[in-house]
């Protein structure tokens, strides 16, 4: 394979501006995930369930509905930002999804709830392809793990903040006000985005393409290698646990472990907050090791597999009759998965430097969010069938083991020779 994954030698952006935008991308992801997580908290409250007369399978359906449109549009969204750039398409999408999220406050029927969730998925579909593309062309390889760690921390701080704020706002003013405040409040993000970000990623991409020997690797060629399929399987398995935790963990804490709404919000925040911190540290530490001469692929794969192994301890809490033990392992397992967070995204860019990164990020995020469809539905089905959360949480363990296998046997250097000598 020819070429390098490094960014252009002379980046047209100062370090201060670069890292400010990385943090802004992370904040955008926080807001996106707040607008997802607040719905799961509402689904755990008796008033919301009673108003819409929701059964467990109804809740599973509503939790998964967002991901139907979100996952379906990931690859098209990737092609869109590859074609039109990041700045303006992301701004339009952000405004759209914020208004849609706030509109949940006016829902009066199950059909309206379902429609709003589908529209939210459409609005947020652009966020990851756009963000990963910006990082790819503005942050060099040696610091990309740190950048992606900061960015992806938003996917963990978002549920943490969203669960806690949603619980407080519902208790204080009710679920309608909660959706309105969190939805419209996020629109403030647009101001620094329009001021700081340049619409130049297409020019930077052209510089990279010109500097690289050979032609760009087409997306169709990537689909023919075990490497991409290993990445997609591993991504699905990683996010199965994440999306179970985002959509059903609040209900698990309340219904299976008897926690009140405040404690539920607090422990959910601890779980995702710990994951966010570990994601940043693990991305930085992997970058440090690579800078000192460690192999980038082996280093990032080591962090990924370690994260999956720590996450698999979740099954101990699921099988324990003790609420304290269950809460402990819920926090530890999700926090430990943060070891993989930055590195599984950075590894994809390391192994696929010649591909159109928007399309590849879209494909990887589609796999991620297919688990967002499967996890809520399968959890609702297993809970209905067994009457408890034990079987749904054992399913998480199975998916994590499959994910470890995919990174061990499919995501390998020898499969990265997808068309170049």
pLDDT of residue 4: 40
CATH number of the structural domain spanning residue 283: 1.20.1250.20
The packing angle between helices 127-138 and 201-211, to 10°, is: 50
> What is each CA distance from 78 to 144, 168, 360, 367, in whole angstroms?
19, 36, 7, 13
209 in a structural domain: no
pLDDT of residue 217: 61
54 in a structural domain: yes
DSSP codes of every residue in 99-153? HHHHHGGG--SHHHHHHHHHHHHHHHTTHHHHHHHHHHHHS-HHHHHHHHHHHHH
> What is each CA distance from 379 to 58, 121, 245, 382, 408, in whole angstroms?
12, 20, 11, 5, 27
Residue 127: how many CB atoms within 10 A of its CB?
24
Distance, CA of 143 to CA of 6 (rounded, Å): 10
99 in a structural domain: yes
| Cβ atoms 399, 308 nearer than 8 A | no
> What is each CA distance from 397 to 159, 200, 235, in whole angstroms?
21, 43, 15
pLDDT of residue 188: 95
152 in a structural domain: yes
Contacts of 32 (CB under 8 A, 6+ apart): 97, 124, 127, 154, 158
74 in a structural domain: yes
| pLDDT tens digits, one per residue of 361-373 | 778 878 887 888 8
Domain count of the chain? 1
pLDDT of residue 404: 97
pLDDT of residue 308: 97
119 in a structural domain: yes
> What is each CA distance from 371 to 63, 66, 79, 209, 250, in whole angstroms?
11, 12, 22, 33, 18
Q: Kindly report whether the global pTM for this prediction surpasses the value 0.75.
A: no
Query: What does the block give as tokens for 33?
Result: 């995930």
pLDDT of residue 356: 62
| Cβ atoms 103, 116 nearer than 8 A | yes
pLDDT of residue 2: 38
Q: Give the distance between the most distant pair of CA atoms in the chain.
A: 63
pLDDT of residue 5: 42
| pLDDT tens digits, one per residue of 10-52 | 445 788 888 999 999 999 999 998 988 888 889 888 889 889 9
Distance, CA of 199 to CA of 6 (rounded, Å): 20
At 92, which helix (H) or strand (E)? helix 87-103
Contacts of 344 (CB under 8 A, 6+ apart): 231, 234, 235, 238, 300, 304
199 in a structural domain: no
| Cβ atoms 357, 144 nearer than 8 A | no
Residues of the chain with pLDDT under 50: 1-11, 419-421
Distance, CA of 356 to CA of 312 (rounded, Å): 33
Q: Which domain holds residue 290?
A: 15-193+217-416
183 in a structural domain: yes
């Amino acid at each position: 394979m020819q070429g390098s994954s490094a960014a252009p030698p002379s980046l047209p952006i100062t370090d201060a501006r670069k890292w400010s935008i990385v943090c802004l991308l992370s904040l955008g992801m926080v807001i996106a995930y707040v607008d997802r997580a607040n719905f799961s908290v509402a689904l755990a409250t008796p008033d919301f369930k009673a108003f819409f007369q929701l059964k467990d399978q109804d809740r599973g359906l509503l939790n998964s509905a967002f991901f139907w449109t979100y996952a379906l549009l990931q690859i098209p969204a990737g092609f869109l930002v590859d074609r039109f750039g990041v700045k303006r398409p992301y701004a339009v999408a952000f405004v759209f999804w914020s208004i849609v999220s706030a509109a949940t406050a006016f829902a009066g029927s199950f059909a309206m709830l379902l429609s709003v969730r589908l529209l939210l998925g459409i609005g947020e579909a652009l966020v990851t392809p756009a963000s990963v593309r910006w990082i790819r062309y503005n942050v060099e390889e040696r610091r990309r793990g740190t950048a992606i760690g900061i960015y992806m921390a938003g996917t963990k701080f978002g549920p943490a903040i969203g669960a806690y704020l949603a619980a407080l706002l519902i208790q204080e003013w009710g679920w309608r006000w909660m959706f309105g405040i969190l939805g419209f409040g996020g629109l403030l993000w647009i101001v620094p985005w329009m001021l700081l970000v340049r619409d130049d990623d297409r020019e930077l991409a052209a510089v990279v393409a010109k500097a690289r020997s050979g032609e760009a690797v087409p997306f169709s060629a990537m689909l023919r290698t075990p490497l991409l399929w290993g990445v997609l399987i591993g991504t699905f398995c990683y996010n199965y646990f994440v999306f179970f935790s985002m959509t059903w963990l609040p209900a698990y804490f309340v219904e299976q472990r008897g926690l009140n709404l405040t404690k539920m919000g607090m422990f959910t925040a601890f779980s995702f907050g710990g994951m966010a911190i570990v994601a940043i540290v693990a991305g930085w530490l992997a970058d440090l090791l690579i800078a000192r001469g460690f192999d980038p692929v082996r280093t990032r794969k080591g962090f990924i597999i370690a994260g999956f192994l720590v996450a698999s301890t979740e099954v101990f809490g699921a099988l324990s009759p003790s609420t304290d033990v269950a809460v402990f392992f819920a926090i530890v397992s999700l926090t430990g998965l943060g070891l993989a967070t930055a590195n599984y995204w950075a590894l994809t860019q390391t192994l696929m430097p010649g591909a159109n990164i928007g399309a590849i990020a879209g494909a990887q995020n589609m796999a991620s969010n297919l688990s967002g469809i499967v996890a809520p539905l399968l959890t609702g089905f297993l809970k209905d069938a067994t009457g408890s959360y034990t079987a749904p949480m054992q399913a998480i363990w199975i998916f994590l083991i499959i994910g470890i296998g995919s990174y061990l046997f499919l995501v390998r250097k020898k499969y990265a020779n997808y068309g170049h000598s």
